[in-house]
Amino acid sequence: MGFVRDHSYPLYYQITYERKNTQVKSYFNKYYYSLEEVAEEEPELIRFERNILQRVVSYETTRGNGTFTLSGIKGKYEVYITPLHDIFENSLKKKLLKALKYCQSEFLHILKFEGFDVTFSLLYKAVKLLIKGFDSYLDDDFKIEIAAYQAFLKAEEKEDETYQYVTVLDWLDSDYKIRLQDKFLTNFQLNLPLSEKYISILNYIVEEKAKLI
């Protein structure tokens, strides 16, 4: 949650459609003194969120056979703008925690599962160092899901952090999946059946999130 300063305000976007208006709060929940401050400190923010909002309306219109209303747009926006990384991280962390409970490890309560820097990859590495033979407690489906996520991370590896991350909407409403599979095939030399399997696994996780819409 953003830190609230005196006389600072969250950023909202106003959507006007067929003479009706609604406001959607910025996904990033930060506070500012003015729009000028937003433009100065984070110049890409407004452009990025405005683009996503425009795409949400376009996508929802397509889904609704040419019709669209502002009803429920706030909740839909929060789902569509969610980073794919967050979706996959949450899914894998839950399954990792379940496996830890299953093996009844004494280390369960000292492993921290929350926090921006506590990634699944770091947790998985720590668990394997703490618990001998931990992989034997994982079923084959979870192991291939981990491999699929690791391939995704490698494909999306970036040197700098910007607002140009891959969203749920990118997955659902673009050829992103095709481009990702092409990376699996060409950059990582995965065979076609395995790359298709990875895409299918990741797609299932995203579709589960999309059910909230």
The domains of the chain are located at 9-71, 84-210
User: How many Cα atoms occupy the beta-carbon half-sphere of 2 within 13 Å?
Assistant: 15
> What pLDDT tens digit does each residue of the chain (213 aa) get?
455 556 789 999 999 888 889 999 999 988 999 988 988 888 889 999 999 999 998 898 888 777 788 989 999 999 999 999 999 999 999 999 889 888 888 887 888 787 778 899 999 999 999 998 999 999 999 999 999 999 999 998 875 666 789 999 999 998 999 999 999 999 888 999 999 999 999 999 999 988 877
> What is the pTM for the complete model shown?
0.85
List CB contacts of 60: < 8 A, sequence separation 6 or more: 68, 73, 76
Which residues does 39 contact at the CB level (< 8 Å), separation at least 6?
46
C-alpha 201/C-alpha 84 separation (Å) is 13
